[in-house]
Structure 1
Amino acid sequence: MRNSADCNSFRRWHEAGNEFVPPADVQIVTSGGRSIPAHSAVLASASPVLEKMLYRCRIGLNSQRIIQILGVPCDAVVAFIQFFYSSRSVLSSREGEEAMERYGIHLLVLSHAYQVKWLKRGCEEGVAARLRAEEVVDVLKLAKLCDAPRLYQRCMRLVAEDLASAVRSEGWRFIQRHDPLLEQEILQLVEDADQRKKRWMREMADQEMYQQLSEAMESLQHICTVGCTVVGPHNGEPPSRSKGPCSFRTCEGLQLLIRHFATCGKKLSPGGCIHCRRMSQLFQLHSSICDQSDSCKVPLCKQFKSKMQMDGKVDKTWRLLVKKVVTARVMSSLAKRKGPEEIQKTWLRYTGTK
């Protein structure tokens, strides 16, 4: 029954508006009693279901086969058949967009029922692009029935983004009465999406903290090695604030902490000073990362390394923090470098890979 050459000929005749198109040998009857002429070669080539129906259908007047396509508006059936006579690119044309706007849901049902895969994919995309929150529950139910996973995922995402609008819809009240399993599935997905969002926000906050600590380590090294404004060594030159703002965001705050740490009289008292404890933790973090303890000019670097060697064990939480800060430092260094060789050298340096 299928003949792709005949189908292509019909398509070319149709698109060119040729008046000598071969006479139709099929009549498609719709729910409204409308009869649509078509060609068996085109129908059979487009749909395996229609091909089987053509074998079994009855013969009417003028020896024409008669098949029925019921359950959808007549104009939707006309649009469905017209797609068979056009190239697949018609979906992105103005006519295709108009048909999808008017009959997208009906075309999705027809393309699923008659196994027109290329049209079904286009309908999934078209319906998903025009989806509104107030109708999303109805479309979600339809997506499940029509085995349309892309549309189903789009519906679920829209429900998760605007559950309040979906709950106010008639479709939601319908599934509450008749499909509690689908209602539970939607609510579970919304809860999972909310948990993923919260987890992502926590991870982003953690990454920002690790990035700030990494920059603080670089700033601390910078202050204690070359000096910045009035803090740190200045190679015999008098300290000055005329250098202008530092490129490190954390530099100014660190300078304040260092000056406070140097003069605070409470850091050795019971309970200590919260600012001094914070500075001490930064010194300890630097010591855990530093690989130049013999020549390092950062205060307490060597002392903290000796203490860790004497204790033998390092707290797992602290070890994880050090690892995260080192990773953030590596990623920051890689982002600043352009050449692949420099990226590889930086990565090998921090991972210790040979």
Structure 2
Amino acid sequence: MRDFEGSNGLRRWHEAGDESAPSTDARIVTSDGESIPAHSSVLASASPVLDRMLDKSQKNCMLERTIHILGVPCDAVLAFVQLLYSSGTSVSSRDIEEAIENHGAALLVLSHVYRVEWLKKEAESGTAARLTAERVVDMLKLAKLCDAPKLYLRCMRLAAKDFGAVQQSEAWRFLQLHDPAVEREILQFLEETDQRERRWRRTKEAQEVYHQLNEAMECLHQICSEGCTNVGPNDARRGVPSSRRPCAQVRTCEGLRQLIRHFAACGRKSTDGGCPHCRRMLQLFRLHSSLCHRRHSCSVPFCSQFKSRMQKEGKEDVTWRLLVKKVIVARVMSGFATRKVPEDNNTLRAGLRSRGGNKRNLN
């Protein structure tokens, strides 16, 4: 079992630059032939992969255990070793950002190969934050090799956002010639993104239509029950002052008033094909009757007639029931949006105290 307390002491000596620190018993050889001295206890406690490599060196009876880290520049290996000595606990965020700024991709590879999880997370986030369109292809392949889903998703989203710049990069041209599978993967993601955006736009447009229909139902009931300056019952006869506040849905109310005036004066209701504007008004009357829960004395025209027809014919068709359901949902969501939220909890506390007092009085 290794001396982890000793490794922590070595880290403190290393950070303080103490010359009395124990001598190194391992060295790391890089691709450039450089040799980096290190303490085996620190490397073993920071990485399980390095721990196994050091054990293998010890079984070979080597006086000084040697580890070869190849394929990355010497400066990146040195930064990696320095971060291992910090072990992610005492290193400052500025030092990590500086190391990732200079050696982000190499640190991601090293932390993945040697299973230094905290450093891999930092390197993945830092590389994703510094990603550019010119490096998307290279970083995408690196993310797949290093199992870095956050970086992979960031690459795909940036490719979808600025695909023109990605196509101009040398890496994309190389990809088309030598790795068509990754090219197909990127193009498939772009197609799926475009389909999601089209579905989102259609859904948003449909929700806007249902919201407008809900506003039309509110305006129709207001016009027929409370009155309007242009159409509907007379305000004075119902005791409503003529200076009643204006409608909240001005545009919807104005369009509905024009339809009502046309419906009252149009002579083509009963002709072949009928008037399209009158058919639209009748559909609004029918929609109101499907939403209205008043059994008697509803002031909206044709409400009782449509209800009687629906009772005689039985259930309405599926398309119409779905439309009614969507309008009801739009009404509920509109109610949530306009609901007033108290600025603080004083009212709630006062209400709870009063309820508690009432209960004590009852007891």
Query: If the length of structure 1 is used for normalisation, what is the TM-score?
Result: 0.88
| Residue in 2 that maps onto 1:349 | none
Q: CA deviation at 1:91?
A: 7.0
| Residue in 1 that maps onto 2:145 | 145
Amino acid at match of 2:308: S
| Residue in 1 that maps onto 2:352 | none
- Whether the aligned pair in 1 keeps the contact of 2:6 and 2:41 (CA below 8 Å) is yes
Q: CA deviation at 1:114?
A: 1.0
Query: If the length of structure 2 is used for normalisation, what is the TM-score?
Result: 0.86
CA gap 1:2/1:206 in 2 versus in 1, 3 angstroms: farther
| Residue in 2 that maps onto 1:160 | 160
> Matches of 2:122 and 2:87 in 1, distance apart?
13
> Matches of 1:325 and 1:80 in 2, distance apart?
60
Does structure 1 residue 201 correspond to structure 2 residue 201? yes
Deviates more, 1:275-284 or 1:247-256: 247-256
Pairs within 5 Å for 1:119-138: 119-138=119-138
CA gap 1:100/1:91 in 2 versus in 1, 3 angstroms: farther
Structure 2 residue corresponding to 1:277, chosen from 259, 276, 279: 279
Does structure 1 residue 316 correspond to structure 2 residue 318? yes
> Matches of 1:296 and 1:11 in 2, distance apart?
83
| Residue in 2 that maps onto 1:336 | 338
SS at match of 1:236: helix
Structure 1 gap ranges (5+) = 341-354
Pairs within 5 Å for 1:235-250: 235-236=236-237, 243=244, 245-249=246-250, 250=252
Does structure 1 residue 216 correspond to structure 2 residue 243? no
- Whether the aligned pair in 2 keeps the contact of 1:258 and 1:279 (CA below 8 Å) is yes
Calculate percent identity across the aligned residue pairs: 60
Pairs within 5 Å for 1:47-62: 47-57=47-57
Aligned residue pair count: 339
Amino acid at match of 1:312: G
SS at match of 1:268: coil
Amino acid at match of 2:132: R
SS at match of 1:66: strand
Q: CA RMSD in A?
A: 2.5
| Residue in 2 that maps onto 1:350 | none
Deviates more, 1:128-137 or 1:151-160: 151-160
CA gap 1:209/1:145 in 2 versus in 1, 3 angstroms: same
Q: CA deviation at 1:185?
A: 1.5
Q: CA deviation at 1:339?
A: 7.7
SS at match of 1:85: helix
| Residue in 2 that maps onto 1:19 | 19
> Matches of 1:77 and 1:45 in 2, distance apart?
17
> Matches of 2:242 and 2:326 in 1, distance apart?
34
Amino acid at match of 1:24: T
Amino acid at match of 1:229: T
Pairs within 5 Å for 1:98-113: 98-113=98-113
Q: CA deviation at 1:243?
A: 4.1
- Whether the aligned pair in 2 keeps the contact of 1:215 and 1:248 (CA below 8 Å) is yes
